[in-house]
A and B are shown apart, each in its own frame.
Chain A
Amino acid sequence: DVKVTQSSRYLVKRTGEKVFLECVQDMDHENMFWYRQDPGLGLRLIYFSYDVKMKEKGDIPEGYSVSREKKERFSLILESASTNQTSMYLCASSPPRPWDTQYFGPGTRLTVL
């Protein structure tokens, strides 16, 4: 079975802190994704990566950056956390073919105080 793990299920940070969310997949998938899930807004893509050191902006990249130094790991970075970044963050991975499903991690619920 594909396994996508995220470093924390719950995280509480203060405004202005630098926050790292880590995601690791064990199926050698080329694609990895970071989404933000908010009530009534569905899943919104923040960034995705289709190869090591490659990244593309999604629909809401402002205030976020990403890093992919190894194929299995995709990190989301909040350079200076703000209260409007309080949300559920979902990581996903998939093979590169468009018909392939995405495999999701359990999510990190981030609260910024």
Chain B
Amino acid sequence: AQTVTQSQPEMSVQEAETVTLSCTYDTSESDYYLFWYKQPPSRQMILVIRQEAYKQQNATENRFSVNFQKAAKSFSLKISDSQLGDAAMYFCAYRSGNTNAGKSTFGDGTTLTVKP
């Protein structure tokens, strides 16, 4: 079974600074997808960024980027120019490339505080 580990229960960053959230996973599969989701306080969880395991290039979405190290099974999220609206709980998730396996495995989450 796959496992996802987020080793930082809480992180804080100064507004306009850069912060990196860590995620490691364990799998024996070669085909899979990795996701970062954001859950703002009292709001719905939304997708931040997605990475296909077969792609060597790291995914980027505006101020959000990932550092995907497949051999190390590491998938960290970098938030540049942090904004107050980035304050949220962030979840790393793994999803198998087997199309019959629709479910994802989530980490325990990292609560990010942004200081003005």
* A contact set with B: CB distance below 8 Å: 4, 30-31, 33, 35, 40-45, 48, 50, 56, 58, 90, 92, 94, 96-99, 101-102, 104-107
Contact = CB atoms under 8 A, between A and B. Distances in A.
Contacts of A50: 100, 102
Given A33-B103, A42-B107, A98 B46 contact: no
A19 B45 CA distance: 24
In the A-B complex, the 4 residue pairs with the closest CB atoms: A42-B108, A104-B45, A43-B106, A101-B47
Contacts, number: 60
Interface residues of B, number: 28
12 contacts: A30-B102, A35-B106, A41-B108, A42-B109, A50-B100, A56-B103, A97-B99, A98-B32, A98-B95, A98-B96, A99-B33, A104-B37
